[in-house]
Structure 1
Amino acid sequence: MPDYHDDLRLAHVLADAADAATMDRFKALDLKVETKPDMTPVSEADKAAEELIRGQLQRARPRDAILGEEYGLAGTGPRRWVVDPIDGTKNYVRGVPVWATLISLTVVGEGGYEPVVGVVSAPALGRRWWAAKGGGAYTGRSLTSASRLRVSSVGKVADSSFAYSSLTGWEAQGRLDGFLDLTRDCWRTRGYGDFWPYMMVAEGSVDMCAEPELSLWDMAANAIIVEEAGGTFTSLDGVRGVEGGNAAASNGLLHGDLLGYLNQRYQ
């Protein structure tokens, strides 16, 4: 198996730079915010953080391709970095501290590009999570000061905690009834939103999470961290990987149940 330790170290360096840039503008009274064609917000901090990451990657990994939410794809090849400069921009612009920079290295595999390194850095929460393929998943303040992540061992829906982002999107896909049934049958549900539910699955504080509409940069870093923590990450249709446009993540024991609820209309 290839060793991705140097790439993981680089991802931490990139996250450090992004953290400094995003925290510098967090809660700034003069923060500039625009609306993108898909009607989602983008702040000057989103753009600045992605430009910063791209610049460092172009110097450190000039042969690698880069795909970012704000500036698209640059380059070609079997290695592609995937960047979401601020996952949770709506929180960021309102002063809610639940947002993070997501950085992942993906490589060409059997089913397309597969995440092999992931860093999720949430500086306003004072938290960071990371993983490299075959090396486990961790959380802490640095590579040398970290604790290993492990998913929960909860095996019954009635005992489980389910997290999500919002109700938006479920009804359009015909999955709202199954979603609501799941929330009724679980022990606990919370709408933490964005990257955070996946990190909670990885650290065992939440057992399942799902979202109906996502882009690659929303998923790549989360997926490798969940899987290296012993969990399962698929599309809502049960296909492993990050190119399905949506996501379901769990401790693995509950994954069949999770997909069963969210695919009720197909049964």
Structure 2
Amino acid sequence: MSSPFEVLGVEPDADEATIVRAYRRRVKETHPDQGGSAREFQAVKEAYERIRAGDVDSEPAADDDKPAARRAESAGGGSRDSTSGGAQDSTENRENADRSDTPASGPDADRDAATTSRVEFVNHAVLDDHGWALDDEDLFEKAADADLAPEDHGAFEVEPGESLLEAAERHGFAWPFSCRGGACANCAVLLREGELSQPADHILPEELIEENIRLSCNGEPLTDELQVVYNVKHLPRLESLRLPPGPFEFSRTD
């Protein structure tokens, strides 16, 4: 069986930056949208997680007891139903993900886990049309006064245990995504207020986390109120983390 380093194509003494670059390259190469397979994609994710955890000597736990379809979903494979099925399928995907979340901060960090969260959103695609900028302090006030289409500005509630992307889909919004596993930035959002969890096996570098970029596919609200700008995948600093549009992505044409 190949070692985690062999799976990523790096030497055992590779530094962290080299490992991260190799991981980003390999998840793109093995992604089912790009001609890879669910098994290869999952193997790359598991190899990266083992290297990060320092678990490079022991054998990975066998997952032959999981149904094949379930393993494929956890690797980002499978089709997307643009109505209700996509959100239901992604719930199973999320159950297989690493649930080791980024610690919350702020007054709402210890909120009741059974509490719903309210998310107000703005579509990044409309900013240029109105001469707005991401760092405008009154961005959401401007959006509220601009009579935007429902998909460009609005609000919805996220249920406990539900990712931001799942909640958007449940409410009928077609937000961008590709892998649904934290391995690309197609589903990225910018947090303006509140906090969103981020499982440990995501692809975002620390500098983007510090800039309040999060992934909607596996991030769950940690605060009662959030304001997010979605569809930010075309920001230049996210270019290298995007996957080309595939059969699993359904988003507004920019």
TM beyond 0.5? no
The TM-score, its normalising length taken from structure 2, stands at 0.31
Considering fraction of residues, name the structure with more strand: 1
Task: State the structure with bigger RCO (CA 8 A, min sep 6), 1 or 2.
Answer: 2
The TM-score, its normalising length taken from structure 1, stands at 0.30
